[in-house]
A and B are shown apart, each in its own frame.
Chain A
Amino acid sequence: ETGVTQTPRHLVMGMTNKKSLKCEQHLGHNAMYWYKQSAKKPLELMFVYSLEERVENNSVPSRFSPECPNSSHLFLHLHTLQPEDSALYLCASSQDREQANNYGYTFGSGTRLTVV
């Protein structure tokens, strides 16, 4: 257990479904991230939240909608996904660059998403 917990671990959803991925951290970090890891590409940064405000969105399609209600929780809401969205979705947390000397991320184990 890394201190970053993601649920569910596996998810199969149809293209018309709506689902949400959840991430929770108990490390006292103030920045959280969503990454996509697929077989065709290296780790892709999707969203960055720092101090609960979204500071970066790397042109992710609107069918992915993040939510960060507080510094410990992060959600990724999914709707009308495509088969090419099937991937491992990883959540990570860290201290913001102004808060600490170590900027390394702590990752969760990911949610393996399959869109059918």
Chain B
Amino acid sequence: GESVGLHLPTLSVQEGDNSIINCAYSNSASDYFIWYKQESGKGPQFIIDIRSNMDKRQGQRVTVLLNKTVKHLSLQIAATQPGDSAVYFCAERDSRSSASKIIFGSGTRLSIRP
């Protein structure tokens, strides 16, 4: 059976502070990037997306930054709350794919300290 769990990178943040979750990608043909949040017992939930012709996009309490030069993506969460505790996945889509196929990263677990 599965006795060894997947060791996700973990980020521990004080409640109220800002969180920054990072993601590196390697495919220079990726043209669309998405951040997902997965809470325990649920499927991944869309947070925010960004196209490759942009370098920043803001949502409600979240900001995604894209640096195509170094193939780096980050998710910033302002004023982190207990409800932000989850695993966060970055995902990318290859511009050459025939269908809307998205490849997911391994995820980062965000925990909130009271």
CA of A31 to CA of B98, assembled, Å: 11
Bound CA span A14–B36, Å? 33
Q: Is the interface of A mostly helix, strand, loop or mixed?
A: loop
Contact call A96/B100, Cβ cutoff below 8 A: yes
Q: Compute the total of residue contacts between A and B using a CB distance below 8 Å.
A: 80
Contact of B42 (CB < 8 Å), options: A42, A86, A109: A109
B13-21, B56-64, B72-80, B103-111: which lies at the interface: B103-111
B70 CB–A CB distance under 8 Å: no
The distance in angstroms between the C-alpha atoms of A96 and B100, with both chains bound, is 5
Interface flags, B77-114, vs A, CB<8A=1, else 0: 00000000000010001000111111111110000000
A31-45 residues at the B interface, CB under 8 angstroms: 31, 38-43, 45
Please list the residues of chain A having a beta carbon within 8 angstroms of any beta carbon in chain B.
Answer: 2, 4, 6, 31, 38-43, 45, 48, 50, 55-56, 83-84, 86, 90, 92, 94-97, 102-110
B residues at A contact (CB < 8 Å): 1-2, 4-6, 32, 34, 36, 41-46, 49, 89, 93, 97-107
